[in-house]
Amino acid sequence: MSAWRAGWRKVAEKARPRLRRPPLLVLPAAGWFLWFLLAPLAIIFVYSFASKGVYGGVVMKFSLSNYVRSADLIYLHIFWNSIKLATLTAASCLLIGYPMAYVMATASARMRAFLLVMVVVPFWTNFVVRAYAVKVLLGEQGPVNALLASFGLISEPVVFANTAFAVWLGMVTNYLPFMVLPLYVSLEKFDFSLLEAARDLGASPVKVLFKVLVPLTKPGIVTGLVFTFTPALGEFVIPDLLGGAKTMLVGNLITEQFLKTRDWPFGSALSLLLILTVTGSLVLYLRMEARRQKAEEGA
């Protein structure tokens, strides 16, 4: 069935008219991307080798000083903070999201549709609002403190605000859909009879999980990790609102260069380093995706 479908798709693909030049219809989009996406990104590259003028302008004289400066211990430490937070977020999302995706993939069609909507709805709500909701929940007069007090567990309100826990909660609830959706797509196509086969052959549940389920849903896991890790790396608004900006992150540092110190060249260099990290994980992701498609078409 699926082989037939893949074959049919290939025929349809071949039947598509092959044009010598890009059609007129793509020109507006291509022009727009060129002018408002690629040119601005190129500016980051160019400015990162310039230097800051006396009054905050950009002096176009080639130098590597911004990159040398970004290797300073202070800035390396800030990069490290961001990597730690992004890793913790991605790992937490995987641990929470994998069982969720498994439940969704094995649920009845009705339940599955319901769960999908439940996962996607917060994805569409404003993330400033969601961060604020976490602040309300954990506030000194918030419901968690009220509940603890009513059970007589605490006499003084517990200060959750501006703690690592508040930041963790805000980050995880924000990025969870990015993890669950690709995992769900992977698990939805998974042939669950393989689990049974492995069990029949005497594999323990743990072995089934790590030798069958995880390897076969690896594309979903990698996609999920890329989609949570990369945006989390540049994130600073959630830590800012929930953590009281106690730890400096790459996002704060970059924003400061643009809105406070007006050192655009240094900010550009930092942004380029961020882009390089993101591109690195994107290349990894695209490779996996290409391999998956090849395997699918061969099936």
**Shortest reach from residue 77's CB to another protein, in Å:** 19
Q: Is 21 in the site for another protein (CB under 8 A)?
A: yes
Q: Is 217 in the site for another protein (CB under 8 A)?
A: no
With the C-alpha atoms ordered 157, 163, 165, 168, is the resulting torsion angle positive or negative? positive
Q: How many degrees, rounded to 5, is the angle at CA 96 between CA 159 and CA 108?
A: 130
What radius of gyration do the chain's Cα atoms show? 24
Name the residue type at position 183: L
Phi, psi of 16 (to 5 degrees): -65, 140
**Using CB under 8 A, which of the segments 13-21, 66-74, 214-222 binds another protein?**
13-21
Length of the chain: 299
Q: Is 67 in the site for another protein (CB under 8 A)?
A: no
**Shortest reach from residue 66's CB to another protein, in Å:** 14
Interface mask toward another protein for 24-43; x: CB under 8 A = -xx-xxx-xx--xxxxxx-x
Interface mask toward another protein for 138-167; x: CB under 8 A = -x--xx------------------------
Our CB check for another protein shows the closer of 20 and 260 to be 20
Number of Cβ within 10 Å of residue 223's Cβ equals: 21
Q: Is 137 in the site for another protein (CB under 8 A)?
A: yes
**Using CB under 8 A, which of the segments 59-67, 68-76, 214-222, 274-282 binds another protein?**
274-282
Our CB check for another protein shows the closer of 65 and 240 to be 240
From candidates 47, 49, 79, 175, binder to another protein by CB under 8 A: 47
**Shortest reach from residue 100's CB to another protein, in Å:** 5
From candidates 75, 97, 183, 228, binder to another protein by CB under 8 A: 97
94 alpha-carbon distance from chain centroid: 11
What is d(CA 69, CA 80) in angstroms, rounded to the nearest whole number? Answer: 16
Our CB check for another protein shows the closer of 23 and 202 to be 23
CA 155 vs CA 137, 146, 196: distances in Å: 18, 10, 53
* SS3 label, residue 52: strand
**Shortest reach from residue 70's CB to another protein, in Å:** 15
From candidates 50, 94, 105, 167, binder to another protein by CB under 8 A: 105
Letter string b/e over residues 200-216, b meaning 16 or more CB atoms within 10 A of that residue's CB: eeebeeeebeeebbeeb
Taking alpha carbons only, the member of 108, 112, 102 closest to residue 205 is 102
